[in-house]
Amino acid sequence: MGNVTRDISNDFYTETLVIGGGFGGTYALHKFRQAGIPVKLVEAGIDFGGVWQWNRYPGARVDSEFPFYQLSIPEVYKTFNFKERFPSDVELRQYFQHMDKILNLKKDAIFNTIVEGVTWDGQWTCKTKDDRIITCKYLVLCTGSSYKKNFPPFRGLEKFSGTLIHSAGFPEAGIDASGKRVAVIGNGATGVQIIQELAKEDCSLTAYIRTPIIALPMQQRSVTTQEQESLKSFYNVLLKAARVSKTGFPYNSPAKTFSKTSDEEREALFEDLWGRGGFSFFLSNFLDFVVDKKVNECIYNFWAKKTRARVQDPVKRDIVAPLKQEHLFGVKRPSLEQNYYEAIDRPNVELVNLKKTPILEFTEEGIVSEELRKFDIIVLATGYDAMTGSLMDLQIKDKEGRPLQEKWKGGVETYLGLMVEGMPNMFMVYSPQAPTALSNGPSIIETQVDWIIDAIQKMKTEDIVMIEPQHRFAVQWGKDIQDMNAKTLYPLENSWYMGANIPGKVREQLMYIGGADAYSAAIHNALDGWKGFDLRRHEI
């Protein structure tokens, strides 16, 4: 092969490179600029928004309620109003556009740029798919939990000749389901939203359900500009309260513990929380549902009673809300629904119970479980190689040249859910071994990004050029999480929290489960005195 000369005109050095332009990346870009630390951002998609750029499926919206699903940047929240308690994907993209307009974020961002190759030689070198080289001193990975799509290894998947689409791959214009035979595989937060939306259309819909989701009434409503304007004087307090809470939502807790309440008191509490909608029934409930099967069953039974009353078809009722608890409440992510249970009851909707009749194969015409069903469109709402997939795809090697894939072959190992041994000055946001999916997104992202800025400012003040976690501390961080996890009910369900949704992935708790409040205390405690870090100072 002859010498191919690389075009180096697009290469550049920046003190900080942020990868990813969702909530984590945009907040990091803003805060680094505010701190006076030079920064650039690269993003794979066409604009800011992260998951809200990729997720354009019918009915996409967030399960985190207003006003908490936004960043605590006053100049942004003072000048933006949402329309709904649970904003849609469209509204969330508008929010990101607004944030960009107010903060002029695009000035420092490059889109349509995928990083695939990251190496260390005293600084980080990031190679992009379009052959650009970006070098930096600090690398901040904001690649999100839900980037790498999960295509289950269904036999014959490639044979299907109709439209096959992953939930994160819908075109901007959407799809026309009218008059079509549509299948949806998957019953997580995404599947529920797609099914309840498509069921209303003039289509014949088949939902393939393996584990029925435990969905709670969203109680969606419009929020007026007047309501928001009158609340804005308190946003700083509300958003701060979210950050210092256990879950990133400042929900209150029951006045008494489960064991100290009577059946009547519990019923009254459950009714109260049910009526509030959103995650109240989940996160304002007795949180010992995570550790105590009796508590879990009691909450499940209330949910099943309420839910079963909404489904008239007895076969469908038993599939989506079995009377006897088959799945634990709240240790696999519950979801919010808007008339989902009425939607699946419609005559144009068929449910296939995959526990009884698993998918055998795909054919050119459709899906074979116990029989062949023919489709025009098949939607895979089958989730993601969550938490680690996006990081692995970056193809990062540590300072010894060891790929992250190899380092994490036996399980994830981070320190504080923020850094990895052998990968100096590299920080992760919305990351494994942090509260991440167990917290409201923007709240935990702010905690982590602010910590990273504090760490870098401290490095600068103390003339430190390089920080890196010590092996012993990283091992202990992971061990503490798994030990804590072993005392809970999380290991008993096949969830993506446990890496259980991807064949061959190590089964382990991927989240810090001690609460966002305890997490924040732990990471700040480590920063004080650089506990668990190796430091390199400027040579004098």
Local structure of 538: helix, strand or coil: coil
Provide, rounded to whole angstroms, the least separation between the CB of residue 208 and ligand NAP: 6
Q: Answer yes or no whether residue 53 interacts with ligand NAP by CB under 6 A.
A: no
Q: Answer yes or no whether residue 185 interacts with ligand NAP by CB under 6 A.
A: yes
| 31 versus 61: smaller Cβ distance to ligand NAP | 61
**Cα separation of 118 and 128, whole Å?**
9
Provide, rounded to whole angstroms, the least separation between the CB of residue 148 and ligand NAP: 12
Q: Answer yes or no whether residue 23 interacts with ligand NAP by CB under 6 A.
A: no
| 286 versus 340: smaller Cβ distance to ligand NAP | 340
Q: Answer yes or no whether residue 382 interacts with ligand NAP by CB under 6 A.
A: yes
What does the DSSP assignment read for 418-471?
A: TB-TT-TTEEESS-TTBSGGGS-HHHHHHHHHHHHHHHHHHHHHTTEEEEEE-H
Q: Report the residue from 18, 32, 54, 63 that binds ligand NAP according to the rule CB under 6 A.
A: 63
Q: Report the residue from 278, 383, 389, 532 that binds ligand NAP according to the rule CB under 6 A.
A: 383
| 186 versus 424: smaller Cβ distance to ligand NAP | 186
Angle at 202 between CA 197 and CA 203, to 5 degrees: 80
Kindly indicate which of the ranges 3-11, 243-251, 376-384, 462-470 contains the residues binding ligand NAP, using the contact rule CB under 6 A: 376-384
- Per residue, the 3-state secondary structure of 334-356, as one string, reads CEEECCHHHHCCCCCEEEEECCC
Q: Look at the block and give the residue holding tokens 């992760």.
A: 428
Q: Report the residue from 20, 144, 191, 432 that binds ligand NAP according to the rule CB under 6 A.
A: 191
**C-alpha distances out from residue 1 to 4, 5, 127, 534, Å:** 8, 12, 22, 44
User: Which residue, 299, 294, 298, 373, is CA-closest to 334?
Assistant: 299
67 cis-preceded (ω within 30 degrees of 0): yes
Q: Are 72 and 446 in contact (CB under 8 A)?
A: yes
The footprint of ligand NAP on residues 481-520 (CB under 6 A) is: 494, 496, 501
| 354 versus 465: smaller Cβ distance to ligand NAP | 354
Kindly indicate which of the ranges 74-82, 375-383, 421-429, 511-519 contains the residues binding ligand NAP, using the contact rule CB under 6 A: 375-383
Question: How many residues does the structure list for the chain?
Answer: 540
| 32 versus 512: smaller Cβ distance to ligand NAP | 512
Largest CA distance in the chain: 81
Q: Which amino acid is at 260?
A: K
Provide, rounded to whole angstroms, the least separation between the CB of residue 86 and ligand NAP: 8
Provide, rounded to whole angstroms, the least separation between the CB of residue 513 and ligand NAP: 15
Provide, rounded to whole angstroms, the least separation between the CB of residue 210 and ligand NAP: 3
**Cα separation of 95 and 108, whole Å?**
18
Q: Report the residue from 53, 88, 113, 190 that binds ligand NAP according to the rule CB under 6 A.
A: 190
The footprint of ligand NAP on residues 139-168 (CB under 6 A) is: 146, 152, 167
What does the DSSP assignment read for 365-410?
A: SEEESSSEEE-SEEEE---B-TTTHHHHHT-BB-TTS-BHHHHTTT
**Cα separation of 512 and 515, whole Å?**
7
The footprint of ligand NAP on residues 193-222 (CB under 6 A) is: 193, 210-211
**Cα separation of 406 and 404, whole Å?**
5
| 210 versus 471: smaller Cβ distance to ligand NAP | 210
Consecutive H or E run containing 500: none
Q: Answer yes or no whether residue 65 interacts with ligand NAP by CB under 6 A.
A: no
Number of residues that bind ligand NAP (CB under 6 A): 27
| 146 versus 280: smaller Cβ distance to ligand NAP | 146
Kindly indicate which of the ranges 187-195, 253-261, 371-379, 427-435 contains the residues binding ligand NAP, using the contact rule CB under 6 A: 187-195
Provide, rounded to whole angstroms, the least separation between the CB of residue 327 and ligand NAP: 9
Torsion from C-alpha of 110, 116, 120, 124, nearest 10 degrees: 0
| 167 versus 220: smaller Cβ distance to ligand NAP | 167
Q: Report the residue from 241, 244, 354, 522 that binds ligand NAP according to the rule CB under 6 A.
A: 354
Token pair recorded at residue 358 = 């698993």
Provide, rounded to whole angstroms, the least separation between the CB of residue 95 and ligand NAP: 14
Site string for ligand NAP, 424-443 (x = CB under 6 A): -------------x------
Contact residues for 326 (Cβ-Cβ < 8 A; gap 6+): none
| 188 versus 422: smaller Cβ distance to ligand NAP | 188
Site string for ligand NAP, 324-353 (x = CB under 6 A): ---------x--------------------
The sign of the torsion formed by the CA atoms of 247, 253, 256, 262 equals negative
| 418 versus 437: smaller Cβ distance to ligand NAP | 437
Q: Which amino acid is at 61?
A: R
**C-alpha distances out from residue 22 to 42, 146, 465, Å:** 11, 11, 28
| 381 versus 456: smaller Cβ distance to ligand NAP | 381
- Tell me which residues touch ligand NAP (CB under 6 A): 61-63, 146, 152, 167, 185-191, 193, 210-211, 333, 354, 359, 381-384, 437, 494, 496, 501
